[in-house]
């Protein structure tokens, strides 16, 4: 089959790219653009490889510009479900991920997943790897709860099919994300045990347990931190460690006109705020701070 000079240039540029000769690859790609009457696919393939070459040369602004350009052209010309369009979005999503622009990467991976699951089925390897990247991006953004159902679908498939394992997924931090979720679940279980310890009167053990797991809960953003610190303050109060209990509670109570804290609703405030004020009032009373106690109980 006859190969045109522009096709030969493009193949040569791709070969040089894979040989890590990026300057030479870039030169040949620019020659491709010099040919007249390039059709859309020829032009967009050359633009895409130029963007990937710029990325390897660490010219990230130029790389992003070319990768976004080719994706935009393909969406307009062929629509979002065309294989060439999906390939361009795949490269664009990974570009943003590698640049730690996780929110933008997540948007592209989610769009890819929706199309891949409709056109190829969720059991196909491409959709599974894309779902994994959705989970990892969510993990990088601190949304572990949202990442968890994706991982529940991905991990068993990867364990059953060695062909789905790749350096790409390991580099993305799949194992780390699973570990973070495991630590978070362990910490939440320990928090439940600590709350039972308080009910049983084992206040010193409860305090020790809460102090050990609070860093994990705060780092992963799981659970309402005010309720966790309230439990710590209660354990301290029961041991007559009044000053530290008071300091712990006063850090949690919002100002009167302060906005509702992130992650909470007015219903949440109505639930835990009176409990905190009542406990703080008891502490003030034990410390002889009667005005403070009166303010809390009013």
Residue 294, CB half-sphere, CA atoms under 13 Å: how many?
Answer: 4
Q: Which residues contact 11 (CB under 8 A, 6 or more apart)?
A: 3
Tell me the three state secondary structure of residue 194.
helix
d(CA 44, CA 200): 68
User: 1: how many CB neighbours lie within 10 A of its CB?
Assistant: 2
pTM, two decimals, is: 0.58
Cα-based distances in Å from 45 to 33, 64, 232: 11, 15, 60
Q: What is the pLDDT of residue 261?
A: 47
Complete DSSP assignment for 2-69? ---HHHHHHHHHHHHHHTT-HHHHHHHHHHHHTSSS--HHHHHHHHHHHHHHHHHTT-HHHHHHHHHH
Mean pLDDT, residues 115-122: 72
In the prediction, which pLDDT does 189 show?
Answer: 67
* DSSP percent split of the chain into helix, strand, coil, nearest 5: 80, 0, 20
- How many whole angstroms separate alpha carbon 206 and alpha carbon 150? 34
What does the pLDDT read at residue 223?
A: 47
Residue matched to tokens 């991006």: 137
**Average pLDDT of the segment spanning 162-183:** 58
pLDDT above 70: percentage of residues in the chain: 73
Per the model's pLDDT, the better-predicted residue between 40 and 66 turns out to be 66
Collapse the DSSP code of 282 into the 3-class scheme (helix H, G, I; strand E, B; otherwise coil) and give the result.
helix
| Cα distance between residue 46 and residue 251, in whole Å | 58
- What's the mean per-residue pLDDT of the chain? 77
Top-confidence residue, 37 or 50: 50
Q: Which of 6-10, 89-93, 118-122 has the lowest mean pLDDT?
A: 118-122
| Residue, of 221 and 280, whose pLDDT is higher | 280
pLDDT in tens, 48-98: 888 898 888 888 999 999 999 999 999 999 998 888 999 999 999 999 998
pLDDT at residue 123, as a whole number: 46
Contact 239/204 with Cβ under 8 angstroms?
yes
- Give the percent of the chain with pLDDT over 90: 15
pLDDT value, residue 211: 86
Structure tokens at 274: 């009176």
Give the mean pLDDT of 269-292.
Answer: 81
pLDDT tens, position by position, 121-164 = 554 667 888 888 888 888 788 787 788 788 778 777 766 665 66
Residues 201/235, Cβ–Cβ less than 8 Å: no
pLDDT at 192 over 60: yes
């Amino acid at each position: 089959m006859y190969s045109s000079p522009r096709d030969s240039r493009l193949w040569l540029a791709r070969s040089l790219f894979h040989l890590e000769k990026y300057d030479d690859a870039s030169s040949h790609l620019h020659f491709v653009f010099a040919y007249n009457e390039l059709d859309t696919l020829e032009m967009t393939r050359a633009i895409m490889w130029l963007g990937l070459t710029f990325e390897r040369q660490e010219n990230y602004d130029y790389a992003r510009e070319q990768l976004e350009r080719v994706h935009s052209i393909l969406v307009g010309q062929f629509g979002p479900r065309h294989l060439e369009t999906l390939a361009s979005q795949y490269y664009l999503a990974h570009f943003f991920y590698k640049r730690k622009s996780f929110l933008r990467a997540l948007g592209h991976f989610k769009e890819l997943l929706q199309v891949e699951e409709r056109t190829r089925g969720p059991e196909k390897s491409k959709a599974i790897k894309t779902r994994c990247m959705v989970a990892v991006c969510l993990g990088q953004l601190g949304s572990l709860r949202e990442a968890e159902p994706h991982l529940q679908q991905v991990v068993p498939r990867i364990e059953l099919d060695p062909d789905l394992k790749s350096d790409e997924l390991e580099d993305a931090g799949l194992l780390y994300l699973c570990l973070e979720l495991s630590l978070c679940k362990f910490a939440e279980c320990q928090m439940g045990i600590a709350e039972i310890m308080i009910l049983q009167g084992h206040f010193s053990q409860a305090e020790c347990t809460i102090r050990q797991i609070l860093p994990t809960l705060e780092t992963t953003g799981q659970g309402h931190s005010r309720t966790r610190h309230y439990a710590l303050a209660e354990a301290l109060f029961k041991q007559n460690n009044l000053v530290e209990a008071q300091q712990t509670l006063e850090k949690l109570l919002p100002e009167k006109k302060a906005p509702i804290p992130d992650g909470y609703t007015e219903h949440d405030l109505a639930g835990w705020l009176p409990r905190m004020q009542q406990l703080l009032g008891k502490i003030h009373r034990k410390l002889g701070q009667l005005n403070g106690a009166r303010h809390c109980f009013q």
